[in-house]
Amino acid sequence: MMVRLRERFENFFNNRWLVFVAAMWIQSCAGIGYLFGSTSPVIKSSLNYNQGQIARLGVAKDLGDSVGFLAVSLCEVLPFWGALLVGALQNFVGYGWVWLIVTDRSPTLPLWAMCVLIFMGTNGETYFNTISLVSCVQNFPKSRGPVVGILKGFAGLSGAILTQIYVVFHTPDHASLIFMVAVGPAMVIIALMFIVRPVGVVIPVSLSFCPEPRDPANETLLPQPQKQDPGKSEADINEVIFSEVEDEKPKEVDSLPASERQKRIAQLQAKLAQAAAEGAVRIKRRRGPHRGEDFTLMQALIKADFWLIFFSLLLGSGSGLTVIDNLGQMSQSLGYNNTHIFVSMISIWNFLGRIGGGYLSEIIVRDYAYPRPVAMAVAQGIMAVGHFFFAMGWPGAMYISSLVFSGVIASSIYDSEAEKQAHQDHHQNLGLVFSDILDLDEPLKCEGAICFFLTSMIMSGFCIIAVVLSMILVHRTKIVYAHLYGKSRT
């Protein structure tokens, strides 16, 4: 009886769906950076900061959210539960210390030290994101897209979840929201850190250029190369031969049925391999990958497509995060005392934007074989409209703009290191825009749309430039997408 009970418990504990549910709970605490719009007014009033100093705290927050190599490095050395524990401790110490300072339980620190604490606390969520995504992607290798979309969606929704939990307690002390940000995620992570991990069999991904596995008896009948360069491996030769097959195959092969197409390609590959072994042809090695193939970072840095993505995200996503960081001050300048409702609304549209943006991009790619940056350009165009509404300050503009800003998350389709770098670099520049508008020496209270009119119009212009860059990228890559995905539609 005990043995059977133990087996059932092990089966339950090793169930990948249990891991997925636990990962959703963890991701529900992995968007604490979106609460900066609610916590920054408390920090500003308690420490007598001006808008320029709050903007610098926002830069530190965005850097903490963007620098993920620390989490990745620790995941290589520590078990997943250990890395989660490190992230929970960072979150607790960073925001816990900020709460002690805001409530006068600890001496006030200089601005640079406050930036370090905000960076440390927000950087903890990179551990939550990394481990949740890696575990679930390995557990669901055939459903990576939906899994990533759902988990990232819950990260966007976490701001609304934590805000509503705070509203339920209805405490008059606004600093208690910072306390909840410090303690709540840490409690959830510690409770679930032993559950979120890869379970079951991880399916390795390998490249094979043969339609069927070879029989060992038939393997000996294949021609062997008479001479090989000492530095060339068999994988390198296969890659080169496959490249030659793509160059030499007739165009009508792509229009054949899948089985016949594979057969013709295999025959052509065998002929090329035999001819190369006999010295009849000389295979010229490529200097680097083509569009649509995997690039290393150094290979990508010399490509124009990479820099188009980089600057498009730098202008688009960076301007959106700048608004989110200063949402509390913007709503207060328009006469809204309760800023939590706008933070919750943006978090909800954040969730829907992540799910809807990914779904839209899949339709564009799978059904129309058109480049994915089209969805990014659409999102950036929507963001330009949202910035315009913020600039006008019309009645109800905050509600409309929070809805429009669901495009902020749709523009995060390329969730890559380029985007992280864009977030990191962009706010070091855009945070200074507010510093130029407001005096840095004494705390001021600004009222009316004039406080952020110029900044919002500049952000809108940045988004329009980002749309142009995205469409240039679409024009450059549409042939590649048609080649990669167009054949699957025939």
For residue 118, being part of any structural domain is answered with yes
> pLDDT tens, 240-296?
444 444 444 555 655 666 667 677 767 766 766 665 555 544 545 555 566 556 666
Q: What is the pLDDT of residue 279?
A: 52
State yes or no: pLDDT of 37 exceeds 70: yes
Instruction: Report the distance separating Cα 156 and Cα 412, nearest Å.
Output: 11
Count of CB atoms within 10 A of residue 261's CB?
A: 18
Q: CA 353, CA 320: separation in Å to the nearest integer?
A: 13
Residue of 361, 402, 356, 408 whose CA lies nearest to 383: 408
**94, 57 Cβ separation under 8 angstroms:** no
Would residue 286 count as lying in a domain?
no
What confidence score (pLDDT) does residue 472 get?
93
Is a pLDDT exceeding 70 seen at residue 407? Answer: no
- The 10s digit of each residue's pLDDT in 413-452 is 434 333 333 333 333 333 333 333 334 344 445 666 677 7
Place 409 in a pLDDT band, splitting at 50, 70 and 90. very low
| Number of domains into which the chain is organized | 3
Task: Examine the fold and report which residue of 205, 233, 250 is the final residue of a domain before the chain moves on.
Answer: 205
330 assigned to some structural domain = yes
CATH of the domain at 398: 1.20.1250.20
Task: Report d(CA 162, CA 139) in Å as an integer.
Answer: 28
Same domain (yes/no): 431, 335: yes
pLDDT one-digit tens code per residue, 173-201: 778 889 989 998 999 999 999 999 888 64
Whether residue 291 is contained in a domain is answered as: no
Judge whether 294 and 438 are in contact, CB under 8 Å.
Answer: no
Distance of CA 49 to the CA centre of its chain: 31
Q: Is the pTM of this model over 0.75?
A: no
Residues 470 and 357 in one domain: yes
pLDDT at 437: 34
- Are 195 and 239 found together in one domain? no
- Domain match, 169 and 316 both: no
Question: Do 263 and 133 share a structural domain?
Answer: no
Residues 271, 154 within the same domain: no
Asked whether residue 412 falls in the same domain as residue 456, the answer is yes
Average pLDDT value for residue range 462-487: 85
Angle at alpha carbon of residue 191, lines to 187 and 192, rounded to 5°: 120
Residues 259 and 198 in one domain: no
**249 in the same domain as 335:** no
Joined tokens for residue 184: 């709540």
Is residue 287 assigned to a domain?
A: no
Domain's final residue, options 278, 304, 331: 278
Q: Are residues 242 and 327 in the same domain?
A: no
pLDDT at 120 over 70: yes
Integer CA distances (angstroms), 163 to 36, 175, 182, 245, 326, in order: 11, 13, 13, 57, 17
Report yes or no on 401 lying in a domain. Answer: yes
- Which range is least confidently modeled, 37-51, 281-295, 452-466? 281-295
The DSSP 8-state label assigned to residue 143 in this structure reads: -
Tokens 């709970």: give the residue. Answer: 25
Mean pLDDT of 361-370: 78
% pLDDT > 90, the chain: 16
Contact 163, 340 (CB under 8 A): yes
Does the structure show a pLDDT above 50 at 211?
Answer: no
Q: What angle do CA 479, 481, 484 make, to 5 degrees?
A: 110
For 156-174, b where at least 16 C-beta lie within 10 A, e where not — what string? bbbbbbbbeebeeeeeeeb
Residues 164 and 273 in one domain: no
Lowest mean pLDDT among 110-119, 196-205, 371-380: 196-205
Domain boundary among 231, 246, 278: 278
Distance (Å, whole) CA 163 – CA 38 = 9
In a domain, 182, yes or no: yes
Task: Classify residue 210: in a domain, yes or no.
Answer: no
Q: Are residues 328 and 198 in the same domain?
A: no
Please, how many CA atoms are within 13 Å of residue 336, restricted to the half-sphere of its CB?
22
Q: Examine the pLDDT at 230 and tell me if it is beyond 60.
A: no
Are 188 and 162 within 8 A, CB to CB? no
Task: Provide the residue range defining the domain that includes 238.
Answer: 216-278
Q: Which residue matches tokens 């019309």?
A: 394
Residues in the chain: 490
pLDDT band at 412 (very low <50, low <70, confident <90, very high): very low
Q: Which of 445, 341, 414 is nearest to 152 (CA)?
A: 414
Instruction: Output the pLDDT for position 174.
Output: 76
Mean per-residue pLDDT over the chain, rounded: 73
